[in-house]
Structure formats: C-alpha cells, structure tokens
Structure 1
Amino acid sequence: MARLPIDKRTLNGFAGKLGAKFIKLVHRTSSVAQQQELPADKIKSFHPCIIAFWHGQFMLIPGFCPKDMPVANMVARHGDGELIGAALKEFGMDVIRGSGAAGRKKDRGGVKALREAVRALESGLSVPMTADVPPGPARKAGLGIVKIAQLSGRPIVPVAAASSRYRALDTWSRMTINLPYSRIGIIVGDPITVAADAGEADLEAARQAVERELNAITARVYEMVGADPTRATPHTALSPEAAPAKAGLGLSAYQLVTRAGTPLAGAVLRYRQRQHKEDPARMYERFGQTETPRPQGTFVWLHAASVGETNAILPVMTALRGERPDLKFLLTTGTVTSAAMAAQRLAPGDIHQYAPWDTTPFVRRFLDHWQPAAVILTESEIWPNTIIECHARGIPIALINGRMSDRSFARWRKNPGFSRPLFSRLRTVLAQNEKLARRFRELGARDTHQAGNLKIDAPPLPVNGNQLEAFRATVAGRPIWVAASTHPGEDEVVISAHRRIAAARPDVLTIIAPRHPERGDDIVRLAQAAGFTTARRSLGESPDASTGIYIADTIGELGLFYSASTVAFVGGSLVARGGQNPIEAIRFDTVVLTGPDTSNFTDAYAALLRRGGALQVTNAAGIADAVTRLLSDEIELARMRQGATAALDSLSGALDKTVTALLALLPKPDGKLQRAS
C-alpha cells in the first residue's frame, strides 16, 4: 500500500487548524447567554490558575478565554492530542503534552507534565486541563489536578461551557461537538484551593469538591443555554433517575427470538427433565403459572440461580425481615437442588417458586400474579425480558452480590446496544468489589457500589446434630477429609489422591460430595473401577471399616461432612469453573485446599492465601501431599485456622451494607419509594 504524501503530524496540524476555524465559526454565529459577572473577568481574577473542565466538554472554552491571559493547556500525547494542540495554537495558546495514567501501569507522560504544569503556573501561566483522565471513568476527577494545585499553591477554577445545538459522539466521555447558530454560554465555578501540607484525606476532599462543582456548573450551563445535557453525559455518569438507554438491535432481536420460541419451551423443559434438571411436578412454574396464592402486603421477589446463591441470599431475607416485619418474600431459583434447599431452609410464610423462563409471555404472567414491590437479583443473573418487564411496570430492580467474569464482561462490552438498555434499568447494583462495580458502571448501571461478598457473611451451613453424632460414631478414630462441591473432571483426581494418601494412612476415609448430587452413580463407577470399596449416602448406606470412599450425594448435608472432616478440597477449582465457596468449610474449622481457578471467589482466596489460611494444589500428588501432612500436623492446622479466621474478619461486612441499601430501595410501609443511598 502506498504511503500518504504527508505524514500524520502534518495531517493532524492541518485538521487542528480546521477545528480552530470551526470553533471560531460557532462563536461568531451564536448568541451568548448573558450573566451578571463576565466569565472572562472572573477567570482573570484568579490568574494564574488551573482551569478545570470535563473531558469531551472543552470545545467552546478556548473562545471564551481572555485573549490577554497567557495559558498552557495540558493535552494528552496521543494523536488526538496533537490535533487538539494544533487547534489551541490557533488561539495563541501554549501546550503541555501528557496526561495521568488513570490507574494503568504505563506512564503516559503524566509525571513530566505535572512538573511542567507547576513550572508554568509559577511563571505566570494559567493551565487549562480536564479533571477526568482517559479512558475514564468519565466525570470522576483524578488526583493529578489536585496535586498540581497543592504543589503550585494556585487555585483550581472549574468551568463549563455548552451550546443549545450539539452532537455527542459515542466515546467514553461523550465528546461533544458544539454547532453553529446556537445559544452558547460558559459558567465559572467557585475556586478550590489545596494547602501545601494537605494529607490524603484533604486531597480526597479537594478531589470530590472539584467533581461536585464541575457537575453542578455543567448542569447549570446546559440549563442556561436551553439544552438537554443527557445526550452529552457519559452513560457511566448518568443519574439513576435518567431515562434508560434505548434497546439496540441485539436486544430487540433477543426479545423477538425468545417470544417466537415460546411454543418450544415445553419440549425443551421435557428434555431437561430427562436429564434430571427440572422437577416434573412443578414444571408449570417455568411458564409463570402457580397454584400458590399471593399473600397480602408488601411482597419482595428475590432470585438466586442455584445452591451457592441461595445460601448467600437467605441471610439477606432474615435481616430484611428483622428490620421490616411487614415484608413478605418470594424466592425463585433455577435448579432442583436449590429448590430442595429452599424447602428445608425457608422461614414459615416465605414462598419458593421456580423462576419463569425468560420469555415475555411467561414473565408477564408471573408478574401479573405476584405483583412484587421490588425485585432483587443475585450475582450475575441478568435476564433481559425479566428486567425490561419489571422496569416497564415501575418495579425497582437491585442486583446484589454482583459479579461478572472476564469473559462475560468482554461479551457484554462488545454489545452496548444490548447491555446498556439492561444495566441502565437496574435501580442499584451492589458489587463484590470495586473492580466489579466499575465493570457494571461501564456497562450502563448508574447506581453502583462496592458492598463485599455476601457469602463471607453467611452463617454456617445447617447441621443435624443427631446425624452428625451418629456419623462420627460410625467413623470413630479414622482420619477424614472431604472433596466438596466437585465437578466432572475432578473426581478422578480426588480418587487418585485417595490412593496416594491411603498408602501412608490405610485407615483414611475420603468423602466426595459432588456439586450436583445426581452424579453419584458416575462417581461410584469411577471409584469402584479404581478398585476401592464405596458407600453411598443417598442410598442410606454408612461407611464401615472397609469403605475407602464415601459418596455424599445428598442435598443440604455439606455442613455435616465439613464438621466431620479435618481437611477439605473445595472443588470447581481444578477445572475451569471458578471454584466454589471456601468460607463454608472455614466456618467449621476445616482447613481448605483449592485448585488454581478461584475466579468466583477472587477476594476471598486472595485474603486466605495471603494469610496462609488456605493452600493451593494443582494435581492429585499435590492434594495427597497436603492432606497426608495436615492430617498429622496439629501445629500447622492451628496456624492455618488462625490465618483463615483473620482473612474472614478482613472481608466481612457485606450483609450490613446490602441490607442498608435494600431498605432504602424498598417502599416504606406507607407505600412511598425511598432512594438508594
């Protein structure tokens, strides 16, 4: 391919000059909204100063700056920065190249630019710069601008400009192109100063002050020129009250396909029933039908996908009931095992149903009957038709214990026409950590907070005391370890590890508690093929002296086996399943082993491994070595238990934060909806 006859820098310079001409055209053809105090005079009264504005909202500002006030603009080093720098030079302005790292490791010239900005201010130049830094989050002021104010001793002066006619580009900051023949205006906010000896708390307070003032004057200037700021506001900065994003082609296609596929639901469900994934006696619930009457009063619908999410959400229901005894609860789940758990553990008066399939007719039928006052989804349960129908009826939707894998996030982010209309309809999102909260914001959620992981705060799994006593009597004197919540591909590894452990400890009992109890038959065949004697819990069998491997293929008894075991390998971690919940084992002082895939519990495992409260293994030999050593080392067991307890203490608090946020979301007893804080 032939090269262009001119280089990129020359091209950017030419484009910059054209851009400057366009900005001057907008100023020349537009009327200026008048104010009592001239903005130019107010800016000059603070000169030299740091002129702060939001990224994407700066096009008009060069034309409003006093021509006799020397300035040096902070401009990024990338190609767009060259274009912008060339345009600014047409207004007689100097340029400082560089920008903040925005949390990234790579330095983009920010340190050098900071020093140059301080020197420029000390030499009598004002420094215009964006308060937020690419690639975002937009409308969130960075600490860089505050540090410049601290080092230079000069004030930060927030400014905002707008036009009645504009086009907003679909960039991270909603880059706004102001158009000719508009009503234009600029507002200069109150200055913000930073003391030379300011500490971290003072710097953060100043950063927040910059953010608040810029948001306030941006809203005011759009109102002053008679324009709606919504289109120019990045979706990550929109308020929860703003209208949700409109459905794109992908979401519209999903709604069309799921509606068209409704007649096939029966056949699909019957196929799942043959795989033991549906309850034939309650299959009608998947169609949104029910034989259970709706209780009177304020009714809250909570949805959990399976067993783990159900364990996490049950304490939320208990805590909400403690604060609001008037509330009634409906819990929906999607698996047979979680339904069985709900039957065992729901409080009297609470109702369990299978969640309706996510097709519009089924969801509408479900909502017509239950008429919930609020909907609480858990973790990653994003069902498009359910969210759209609830929002259309004015039912507030919360997502709690929110999490999202790297793969899911990448998929959602590639389809903003699908994701933003959904996530912007969520009233509040409580994520497990700040990284996940940022992901939900980027996808369109407006009110997002870090609350922690509810599974950390969940109470110990229930244990039947009589059955535990009987089990311990049966296996008295034997060393015991459990492989809990195993997935296909892990049982073979556990059986191989058992062979190695038994070579050193012939009396060892290995318990395998599969994540899905219906796999009991498969595990028995694997163990017997390897030459081991087995017993099976679901058949009422108890282990005897000859039993090497005990298959705990029942529902709701994992707490019993953790209580009886010294060491637990927590499954879903040797295969690509993200790992299961280690906290359930730790609640019983059972020492935890995990495989390398812990993505479902990243924060919990990071804290556990950092404090020595868990061990990571990669294969049968690793499991066998760790189990064999721990079964005979009380000092190491005590040390690991202490580390695990310290890790849990550092991670707790999610339940209180979640309940506080949900109480603010729910209607008061008088029917008035509160705003989530």
Structure 2
Amino acid sequence: MSKRRLLSRKILPSIARAYLGLALRTTRWRIVGPHASRNVLIQIPASRHPGAIVAFWHRNLLLLPALWKWARTRNGALRLNVLISRNRDGRLIRRTVAPWDIIGIEGSSNKRGQNKGGARALRAGVKALEGGALLAITPDGPRGPAENVQAGAAALGRLSRRVSVPIGGACRSVRLKTWDRMRVPLPFGRGYLCHGMPLPTGASTDRLAQQIAAADQRAAHAYRASGRHLLDLIWPWVGRAASAYLRRLATRRVQSGKEIAGRLEERYGRASVPRPDGDILWIHAASVGEVRSILPLLQRFLDAWPRVSILITTATVTGCETVAQYAERTSDGYRRRLIHQFAPYDVTKGTRRFLRHWKPVGLLLTDSELWPGWLRQCSRLGVPVGLLNARLSQKSFRRWRQTAFLTWPVFQRLAFVASRGADDAAQFDRLGAKNVFCVGDLKELAPPSSVDEAELSALRHALRSRTVLVVSSTHHGEEPIIIDAVAMARHKVKDLLCIIIPRHPERGAEVAELSDPPFPRRAQGAIPGEKDAIWVADTLGELALFYQLADFIFIGHSLLPQGGGHNPYEALHVGAPCATGPYHANFTEAYQQLGTRFATVDDAQSLAAWVTLETDRSHQSGPGKIGDKNRSDRFTSLANTLISRISAMTGL
C-alpha cells in the first residue's frame, strides 16, 4: 500500500477519530426534546423498530456520534446508517466513524449531469429503513446551499414511508471556513442536541427545513443560556443563607393558613404525586390573579398538544384552590392531564430535586415572576423558559436596570417574552431580552369566567332587587374607607348593598369584625338581610358570580398609596359602571387605554358621590361591554400565536 493511500485510509481516520472521540467524550451533553421523538430514536424492543430518518444540517455532521452514543446506551440493539457524499471528505468521515458502528452509505444528489451515486444511495437508504435502522441524513449536503433541503431528502421520505426526526445541535466548537461553516467540537465544553416532533411521511421540504432550523435555534439558545455568570456563583449562596429563614417562614405560614401542612414538602421540591408518562409543560402562576389569566389558555394548550400534561405551580393556597376549582369543571380527559404543585422555593437543591422529578419540556412564567435560580437550573438542563403576559412596573424596571451588571443573564435566558403592551415590550428589550413581542393583555382578552346559573338566580332572588355595589380585591386599610362611603351613599340610595370581596379570603373574619355586630359572611353561608349594608364575600372562585349581581363595581388595592391596582377587564366585561382609586401603577397602561370607561375616586366622599351619581342616571346605559366577538377573535389570535411560539420553543 502506498504511503498516500495509507495516510488517507488509516492514519488520517485514526487521528480524526482520536480527536473527535476526545472532544465528544469530554463534552457535557444534554439531549432534549419531546417524548414522541425520543421514543422514535430509542424505541424498545429494537426488533420492532420501524426505522426512522434523522435529519440535521450538514454543519452538525460531526456531532452525530454523540447522539448515537446516547441512543445506543438506551438501546444497544439499534443500528445506524448515515448518508455521506461520495468524495474524499465523505470517505474520510465514513472511515472515521465506522469503528463506532455507524455504517456509511455513499451517494448524493446528481449535479450538472454528474453521477454522484444518488439513486444507489437512495435505494440503500430505503432498504436500511425497511430493516428497522435509523438513517441519518443532511438534507442540505453535500455542497449546499446551507439550510436548503435537497430533493433527495423528500424522495427518501416518500419512498420509505418513514417519519423524520429533526435534530439541532450546538456545542463549544470552532467553525470551519467551508460552505456550511462545519462545526468542529472542542474538548471539555458543553453541548446540546435538540430533537423535534417526528414529521409524518411525505412532509414537504419547506416544513422539514423549518423544523430542523427550529431545532437548531433551540440548541443554540440552550447553549448560550447555559453559560456561567457571576449571578450563578452568588445566587446559590443566597439560597443557602435564606434556607433557615424560609423554613421558619413556612412554619408561620402554615399556622396562619397560608400554607397546607401536608403539602409543605412541595416547597422544597419534593413531589407529592407521581410523574405521568409523556411530556410535561410547566406553567407557573404565583397567585389568584395570575392563575385566572392563564385558565382560558389551558384548554387551548391541551387541545393543541393532546399527549402533553400541564403542571401548574402556584405560590399561594388561594392559587391552588383556583386551579382545583377549574379542574373540577373540566372533563375527565382534561382533568387527568392537569397537575398542581406548590412552587419550590428558589433554592438550588430544591429546584434541582423538582426538575429531576418532573423533567418538563418547557417552563412558562407569568407576569413578572423571574427567579434567577429557576432560570439557571432550567438553562443547565436545556429546559427553555418563556414569559407570558409579561409586565414590568416602572419601579421594577428601575430596580432591574440598577442591578443589570449582575442580573442581565436573567433576561437573556428567556426564550421569548410575550408582553401585555408596547411599553412593557420596550422595557424588556432594554433589559436584554430576546424574541420580545406584544400580543395583548391576557386579562383583557380572556373570555369571562363561567358562573353557576342556578346559584346566580338564587342570589338574585335572595337580594330582592337591591342596588348592589361590588367592591373587589380590597387590601388591608381599604375596608374602613369603603364602609364610610357606603354609610354616606345610603342617605340617598336607601336600598344600597355593598359586597366587599377581600383580595385574600382568609381576611374575611377581620373585615366582618369592623362592625358590631359583625357583617354577614358568605363563607359562613350568611345572606344579608334588608337592613344589612355590607356583605363580606370571603369565598374563593366566585368573583365572576358577584360581578353578575353588580349595579356598580369598584376595583380595590387602589385607595392607599401602597396600592398597585388590579385587573380592570373582568369587571368591565360585565357592563356595569366601574371605578377605581388613584393608585393603580401596576395597570397604568390598561387604565390609560380604557380612558373614561373607568371613573377615578380618591376617598370615601368621592366614592359615595360616584355611587349616588350613577344611581341617579341608572336609566342611561353604562359604559357597555367590550365587544364579545371582537374580544373572542383577538383572544383566539393571541392563543394561536402563543401555541406557535411555545411549539417552536419546546419542539412540541
């Protein structure tokens, strides 16, 4: 054998294999993606494997052995073939990977009348697939253009009648100055291989290209997000320092009814229920308001991904109860796919324990719930994170800006940010978040909550057509102002009944005790008598029911300087005249858009005057409902946009 042939057949492949083996073995790989494609890749028993096409861009060809090692570890009987070009480079690759049980099939699409062995390779590939092998292909190879799917890839899918699994990859590497910018992995780094949902037989070349590109983008984002930063060194120590305090806090919260003793371990990442099979999408909604904003989306998500379960975490008992009430109203099929757990404290050990058990395919945070530890651990495991109904108050924005030198990784680790308004989108963009887009406020566009019509009819009969003022979401210190206003208004509106709905139902007894004798409480089953001016509605999940009884509605957490306001839209949908206090910084943009549809009152006197004025002109129509058809169409558009973005983020 000549020295040249010895070099090309023995020495160069051995050197390439030694280097590639070192680089791939010393790289910390994460292979992530939906269970459907995972099952296709490592189906057991292998004797029943129908065969499948594994498709990735040509630049990631040298990452294939890492995927193959992962698959063979889980199913040692698998066979892998790879289509490679019939040229010198292709032969070098084939000889390099052959000792790893990767069988090369030489051939590529014919070009300019030259026979590249494409027909022969196509027949061999179909035969391998029919024999139950995995067949790896680079649809844009061997000469490009990059990311341009060649006709042969589509033909292979049609002839073999096998599904295609799109694969994306990213790792610590150098890029060669070739047409495809070939990625050569470097040792002692980290890498991510992301697989998307299997594409059915006959999928178009455009769809195949789109899905491979999406998988590649997921891998690239996972690699960027997993980088270590100063915050990652500091935050675990913050968690350790706070652990003792958190345990004392949890004990106090149990005593005050703000935690459930039997489920306290969930706060430390210990699951109270087993993990179901299949993919899990994790959605975190801190409390009642956030839970209500996502509830209308849940059915859309469950319909879009019929094999996905949704894990909802909350930080409050009232949030938990809201989820439970929603689950009770759904069908058995949906209920089995809804899981609730209390959110783990943002402490490294608990978060890791939580993620190891649930293995979510993605995390969706709501509003402004940004926990650095969660984001760090999710990025380390390749779990993408999106932010729904994203909002930032001016105070929060200034705080994040002041600490940006330390906290900037929090925003760069978000796969997307779906903001509620243009101002919020601009703030997230300035903080360094990528893929920021505005879809509207979930709380504005969500359909009104359903109510028990029999209960509504019974309450209307019990109240005997009294004039009803509903004051919702009140906080400590506001109820005395409301009580004074009602006393003033009753001088002119003799039959006025005010229903006070505390933001936190556990405060019901406290509010009732502001009078002697105490005000009647809904939680005790009491119905107000003719002489009762106040009724405390301290039950959970009945806000929509009381709104239906209202002649006028006032939104609380807005009368005192520390107030930030509450969601105005659910009240406005009822069609009754609405008012709020002057302090609603958390919803400034919403109230600006609503303009005169919401009155603003400053104190007890102005609230009493507003009630009296609205009563005097009750013969006129109120501000009117937001157009149901328009809102429904906008909500459908919002839901479809989010489903598309989440699918791209997770591979579902």
TM range (shorter): 0.5 to 0.7
Determine helix, strand or coil for the equivalent of 2:312: strand
CA–CA distance in structure 1, aligned partners of residues 368 and 564 of structure 2: 14
Out of 609, 617, 623, the position equivalent to 1:625 is 609
CA–CA distance in structure 2, aligned partners of residues 456 and 543 of structure 1: 32
Deviations 1:201-245 (A, max 9, x none): xxxxxxxxxxxxxxxxxxx9xx99xxxxxxxxxxxxxx9577249
CA–CA distance in structure 1, aligned partners of residues 592 and 610 of structure 2: 19
2:82 equivalent in structure 1: none
1:584 equivalent in structure 2: 570
2:257 equivalent in structure 1: 276
1:304 equivalent in structure 2: 285
- Is 2:497–2:535's contact at 8 Å kept on the other side of the alignment? yes
Counterpart AA for 1:252: L
- How much has 1:593 moved relative to structure 2? 0.7
Q: 1:391 to 1:632 in 2, by over 3 A?
A: same
Out of 582, 585, 589, the position equivalent to 1:599 is 585
Counterpart AA for 1:396: P
Determine helix, strand or coil for the equivalent of 1:398: strand
- How much has 1:648 moved relative to structure 2? 10
Counterpart AA for 2:295: L
Deviations 1:246-289 (A, max 9, x none): 65545532321203433553322001222322111211111111
1:569 equivalent in structure 2: 554
Counterpart AA for 2:538: D
CA–CA distance in structure 1, aligned partners of residues 559 and 231 of structure 2: 35
- Is 2:239–2:346's contact at 8 Å kept on the other side of the alignment? yes
- Is 2:263–2:272's contact at 8 Å kept on the other side of the alignment? no
Q: 1:631 to 1:648 in 2, by over 3 A?
A: farther
1:161 equivalent in structure 2: none
Deviations 1:284-315 (A, max 9, x none): 11111123111111210000011111011111
CA–CA distance in structure 2, aligned partners of residues 480 and 625 of structure 1: 15
2:118 equivalent in structure 1: none
Equivalence map 1:207-606=2 (5 Å) = 243-244=224-225, 249=230, 252-346=233-327, 347=330, 348-349=335-336, 350-528=338-516, 534-575=519-560, 576-606=562-592
Determine helix, strand or coil for the equivalent of 1:562: helix
CA–CA distance in structure 2, aligned partners of residues 372 and 325 of structure 1: 16
CA–CA distance in structure 1, aligned partners of residues 380 and 500 of structure 2: 46
Residue 673 (1) aligns with residue 647 (2) = no
- Is 1:500–1:624's contact at 8 Å kept on the other side of the alignment? yes
CA–CA distance in structure 2, aligned partners of residues 279 and 613 of structure 1: 40
CA–CA distance in structure 2, aligned partners of residues 247 and 500 of structure 1: 61
- Is 1:537–1:550's contact at 8 Å kept on the other side of the alignment? yes
Out of 623, 633, 640, the position equivalent to 2:623 is 640
- How much has 1:646 moved relative to structure 2? 5.9
CA–CA distance in structure 1, aligned partners of residues 272 and 359 of structure 2: 15
CA–CA distance in structure 2, aligned partners of residues 626 and 261 of structure 1: 47
- Is 1:372–1:395's contact at 8 Å kept on the other side of the alignment? yes
Deviations 1:445-496 (A, max 9, x none): 1111111100112221232222211211111131111111111121111001
- Is 1:419–1:444's contact at 8 Å kept on the other side of the alignment? no
- Is 2:280–2:359's contact at 8 Å kept on the other side of the alignment? yes
2:215 equivalent in structure 1: none
- How much has 1:541 moved relative to structure 2? 0.8
5+ residue gaps, structure 1, are 1-219, 225-238
Counterpart AA for 2:541: G
1:174 equivalent in structure 2: none
CA–CA distance in structure 2, aligned partners of residues 654 and 376 of structure 1: 18
Determine helix, strand or coil for the equivalent of 2:344: coil
CA–CA distance in structure 1, aligned partners of residues 639 and 556 of structure 2: 27
- Is 2:412–2:434's contact at 8 Å kept on the other side of the alignment? yes
Counterpart AA for 1:593: A
Counterpart AA for 1:640: P
- Is 2:581–2:600's contact at 8 Å kept on the other side of the alignment? yes
Deviations 1:596-633 (A, max 9, x none): 12222233322222xx3221111111111111221242
- How much has 1:581 moved relative to structure 2? 1.4
Determine helix, strand or coil for the equivalent of 2:239: helix
Counterpart AA for 1:585: A
Stretch of structure 1 that moved more, 357-366 or 584-593: 584-593
Equivalence map 1:19-34=2 (5 Å) = none
| Structure 1 stretches of at least 4 aligned residues deviating more than 6 Å after TM superposition | none
CA–CA distance in structure 2, aligned partners of residues 250 and 298 of structure 1: 30
Q: 1:626 to 1:545 in 2, by over 3 A?
A: same
Q: 1:608 to 1:635 in 2, by over 3 A?
A: farther
Deviations 1:496-515 (A, max 9, x none): 10011111122211110000
- Is 1:400–1:658's contact at 8 Å kept on the other side of the alignment? no
Counterpart AA for 1:555: L
- Is 1:441–1:448's contact at 8 Å kept on the other side of the alignment? yes
1:207 equivalent in structure 2: none
- Is 1:316–1:655's contact at 8 Å kept on the other side of the alignment? no
Q: 1:315 to 1:460 in 2, by over 3 A?
A: same
5+ residue gaps, structure 2, are 1-176, 182-219
- How much has 1:647 moved relative to structure 2? 11
Q: 1:536 to 1:650 in 2, by over 3 A?
A: closer
CA–CA distance in structure 1, aligned partners of residues 370 and 640 of structure 2: 21
CA–CA distance in structure 1, aligned partners of residues 645 and 229 of structure 2: 31
Counterpart AA for 2:318: T
Stretch of structure 1 that moved more, 381-390 or 269-278: 269-278
- Is 1:524–1:534's contact at 8 Å kept on the other side of the alignment? yes
Q: 1:585 to 1:510 in 2, by over 3 A?
A: same
Deviations 1:174-215 (A, max 9, x none): xxxxxxxxxxxxxxxxxxxxxxxxxxxxxxxxxxxxxxxxxx
Counterpart AA for 2:281: V
CA–CA distance in structure 1, aligned partners of residues 401 and 633 of structure 2: 30
- How much has 1:419 moved relative to structure 2? 2.1
Deviations 1:639-673 (A, max 9, x none): 412xx5269958983563354234333379xxx82
CA–CA distance in structure 2, aligned partners of residues 521 and 357 of structure 1: 29
- Is 2:222–2:382's contact at 8 Å kept on the other side of the alignment? no
Counterpart AA for 1:475: L
Determine helix, strand or coil for the equivalent of 1:429: strand
> Alignment identity in percent?
34
- How much has 1:405 moved relative to structure 2? 1.1
TM-score (normalizing by structure 2): 0.62
CA–CA distance in structure 2, aligned partners of residues 607 and 506 of structure 1: 35
Residue 613 (1) aligns with residue 613 (2) = no
CA–CA distance in structure 2, aligned partners of residues 416 and 582 of structure 1: 32
CA–CA distance in structure 2, aligned partners of residues 435 and 652 of structure 1: 23
CA–CA distance in structure 2, aligned partners of residues 283 and 555 of structure 1: 21
CA–CA distance in structure 2, aligned partners of residues 431 and 422 of structure 1: 16
CA–CA distance in structure 2, aligned partners of residues 364 and 310 of structure 1: 24
